[in-house]
Structure 1
Amino acid sequence: MSFVKTQDRTEIFFKDWGPRDAQPIVFHHGWPLSADDWDNQMMYFLGAGYRVIAHDRRGHGRSTQTWEGNEMDTYAADVAALADHLDLKEAVHIGHSTGGGEVARYVARARPGRVAKAVLIGAVPPIMVKTAANPGGLPIEVFDGFRDALVANRAQFFLDVPSGPFYGFNRPGAKVDQGVIWNWWRQGMMGGAKAHYDCIKAFSETDFTQDLRAIDVPTLVMHGNDDQIVPYDDSAPLSVELLKHGTLKTYEGLGHGMCTINPDVVNRDLLAFINA
């Protein structure tokens, strides 16, 4: 397995597949998952001739189960360490959910020449929690409930989330995929409880407004309007308004886990954006 060691000696696991001279695509996973959540996209873009890279965020998957540094500034610094280690140039960074926040924070600060384009999918920016400046956000009690459930019985919580709102399996007529549910559980349980607990604050309370304003590369914002995890109205349209070169693509009736449930649709649109 491949790892990069950060300044605080955290070991970040990563996959790096494909020709070294091909354009790199870097995938950033959601909470509480791992690089494995991008298997479909990585195989698809590998087949299209790209170099594909995905890492396990600190405290997640196979990376070090850190008890500190589980916040967006450090997450972005870890990505910078990975990009420097692999000497990535003109990369496309694609982030889902929490990974979308990580992309926003990293791309806004990336060294010149490192990033060509960015994609935010069902992503947490600009900010999820309800505040005076963000009255459409979710109440802090929602995220307190996540923390309580994680501490009380993380294993059951990590079955309840994918069985219901994450993939929309709680919707009438939904075709439930038990393998998808167990794969979500498997990835979640690989990570550390403390890191997962801290990451709830990171994805819900971090304000990415200034990051979005600072991004100066073409950025595609993809979001399903039946997203039960990151509500559409308080995320994607607001992010596009803040981006200099943002494009919004809304998916009627699709939910939060559309990269897994609807990969044919997502992969096609990603390829079109990257090739444009």
Structure 2
Amino acid sequence: MPTFTTSDGTEIYYTDLGEGRPVVLSHGWPLSSDAWQVELKLLADAGYRAIAHDRRGHGRSSQPWQGNDMDTYAKDLAELVEHLDLRDLSLIGHSTGGGEVVRYAARHGQPQGRVAKVITAGAVPPVMVKSESNPEGTPIEVFDGIRAAVLKDRSQFFQDLSESFFGFNRPGAEVSQGARDDFWRQGMLAGLKAAYDCIAQFSETDFTEDLQALDVPILLAHGDDDQIVPIAAAAEKSITLVSKGTLKVYAGAPHGIFGAYQDELDRDILAFLAE
């Protein structure tokens, strides 16, 4: 099982498949790199070196008490990239992972000349929580409720969350119990401390300056029926902050990458990387 140890002693698990130009994928909360299994194979088959890691506290990575914050997540990613000596790198991040790759690219990868392109899907930037300056955001009470549910019964909460995550609560939706079960499985691998701490990180971190600092092409992919990270406070704002951005809106698509949305997004990922 490939792992590397960060400068603070945290063991990070990662998958490394294929050969060619590197693409690093960062997962959403509360998942793991397993969420990218289809894309890892797709990219490796297409001639890329596809790499995905489990964020600290998630999946098969170790569960330190400290460091469950966005700056450390980005630093962990930087140390992984340096460990593997990746260059001409493309980054793909979903949800919380979208925030992670944006912060990494702006503060680590771009200054080092390592990053070529960024892709986000249903990503949390610029900032999720509602405020006077972000009236389209989600009220803090929603995130307080998530914290309470994770502490009370995270197993049941992850089962319940999977329904809206994939849009299976919409009329006529084709429900996959397997997808829901796998969401729960991945979520239960996350340590309680990491899962709890990360809620504040994905909801309250402001990525505005990171987006403004990006000077590489970025594809902002987002479903217009995303019930977890509503597009009005996310991609529709992010596109106004980046200098080389492309916004792709997927009609009727949910937050979770699944089904017809996944098929279309994967085609767009390959096309964007090939440009």
Partner Cα separation in structure 1 for residue 166 and residue 94 of structure 2: 13
Secondary structure at the counterpart of residue 262 of structure 1: helix
Deviation at 1:133, TM superposition (A): 1.4
Instruction: Report Cα offsets for 1:111-133 as digits up to 9, x if no partner.
Output: 43211000110000000001121
Matched with 1:100 is 98
RMSD: 0.9
Q: Is contact 1:222-1:249 (8 Å) kept?
A: yes
The TM-score with structure 1 as length reference comes to 0.97
Deviation at 1:64, TM superposition (A): 0.8
The TM-score with structure 2 as length reference comes to 0.97
Matched with 2:17 is 17
Instruction: Report Cα offsets for 1:175-203 as digits up to 9, x if no partner.
Output: 11011011111111111011000000000
Taking structure 1 as reference, are residues 11 and 83 closer, same or farther at Cα in structure 2, changes over 3 Å only?
Answer: same
Matched with 2:185 is 186
Secondary structure at the counterpart of residue 220 of structure 1: strand
Q: Is contact 2:3-2:12 (8 Å) kept?
A: yes
Matched with 1:53 is 51
Secondary structure at the counterpart of residue 242 of structure 1: coil
Matched with 1:69 is 67
| 1:153-164 superposed matches below 5 A | 153-162=153-162, 164=163
Matched with 1:125 is 125
Give the AA of the match of 1:156.
Answer: Q
Deviation at 1:261, TM superposition (A): 5.7
| 1:259-270 superposed matches below 5 A | 259=258, 262-270=261-269
Partner Cα separation in structure 1 for residue 77 and residue 234 of structure 2: 23
Q: Is contact 1:167-1:261 (8 Å) kept?
A: no
Secondary structure at the counterpart of residue 165 of structure 2: coil
Secondary structure at the counterpart of residue 248 of structure 1: strand
| 1:84-95 superposed matches below 5 A | 84-95=82-93
Partner Cα separation in structure 1 for residue 224 and residue 5 of structure 2: 38
Secondary structure at the counterpart of residue 33 of structure 1: coil
Matched with 1:139 is 139
Secondary structure at the counterpart of residue 188 of structure 2: helix
Give the AA of the match of 2:183.
Answer: W
User: Runs ≥4 in structure 1, deviation > 3 angstroms?
Assistant: none
Partner Cα separation in structure 2 for residue 65 and residue 260 of structure 1: 32
Deviation at 1:260, TM superposition (A): 5.8
Q: How many residues align?
A: 273
Partner Cα separation in structure 2 for residue 123 and residue 30 of structure 1: 9
Give the AA of the match of 1:143.
Answer: F
